[in-house]
Structure 1
Amino acid sequence: MKQSAENKISKTRMILVLPLLVFLMFLTSSSTLPLSQEQAQNKTSALETEIQEPVYPGGKQKLYRFIATTVRYPLAAHNQKMVGYVVVQATINAEGKIGDFKMASPAPNIFQEEVIRVLKKMRTWSPATQGGAPISSTYLFPVHFTYKDANDETFSAEKPNLKALVKSVSSESDNPVYRADEILVVGYKQP
């Protein structure tokens, strides 16, 4: 008698749970139904417009390490205790080559030349892509040259409004625009 009561309870549970399982299976299978032609076209056009940022070999940390170890405070600027804030605009073409250097903000030529010297030494990047196809992009490199004297007093140039600068360059460029983080270069007074 005990067994038949347990069998009835078990069958009742099965009857109650079975419709719930069927409903859950329906829900999960409906999310994997084939896309309509319009939905497929919308998904394809979204992928075609998706733009991936260019990547320096090894990523941003390698980029910053390369710049930090390659850039030098120009000796003439150091001797004159000159400071400057340079923003160099460069194009990374569809082959990943960096070039077409322009000044995105005014700065003393001596600092501009140093930043461009360093950027010209860069390895080939993985270019930006749109829908998987390589495209040209514009990259801004802000470099701040400051000076620290023998008394530990720091002299620095006025920092430009980088957000406004990116917006301005974006409005003038057909390419997507990216910006590196600020790179700080400090010249020290030798005792």
Structure 2
Amino acid sequence: MENQTVVHEDDTLEDIVFQNRNKAYGAYILRTDYQRVIKIALLGGIGLFCLAIGTPMILANIKNEDKTEVIADVIFCQLSEPPKDIPIEPKVTPPPPQEEVKVHKTIAFNQPEIVEDDKATELPPDQDVLNNTNAQISSVTQEGEIGEIPVDDPDKFKTSEGTAPVEVKVEEDMVFMAVEVVPEFVGGNSALAKFLQKNLRYPRNASEVGIGGKVYVQFIVGKDGNISSIDILKGLGFGCDEEAQRVIKLMPRWNPGKQSGRNVSVKFTLPIVFQLDQ
């Protein structure tokens, strides 16, 4: 008896072809799932294509948003000149107290003059009086102490040799605002710009609201080149001030400033620009 094919109203072409056959065979499965597999493959291919094209564009936008422009020019504060030779008034020594002047006993002995007898007022002492007295010879006769003739101290007549000029010393912990040789980042301004560009990151808060501008940072370059006392003179907020301080703290030692041939501490001001590419 021959096999007869019975066709039902809802049978598909695959059901008619594989009627009375082994449907577990791979060909039947491939035919029934063909449409679904084609749709999945097509959608998956389109998705992969879009991802391959869009990924570089997304990464480029992210990098552009985080790009920070750095100004390498340095603003150096010329607020005041370093102290020069400060005139120092010489120390005035008060004069020593004057000794009490002692009045010595004297006998008048003036050069005799020839006058008439009725006009003579006082006779000079005779030679015996002069020889037997310890009084000093003077132009007048007065009572007082008997002693030697006072002589001024010979040291009073010595010439002054003068005093050496006083050298003005600068305090060791003095911080200068202007010096002969300004401190410098090792390698110059170009190396400073590269360092900032490498380490600065645009804060996300500032990027989201479109904040940009200059942050003025002031710090002290010590005698040994170390950075200290970091302060924000004028900031932007939104994380830009903190980012500028963070990068300044990462800086290596600078070449210190010099005044009169020796290393000194100098106050330094550096502007950093945060700018988003449009």
TM-score by length of 2: 0.34
Greater Rg over alpha carbons, structure:
2
* Structure with greater strand share of residues: 1
* Structure with greater helix share of residues: 1
TM-score by length of 1: 0.49
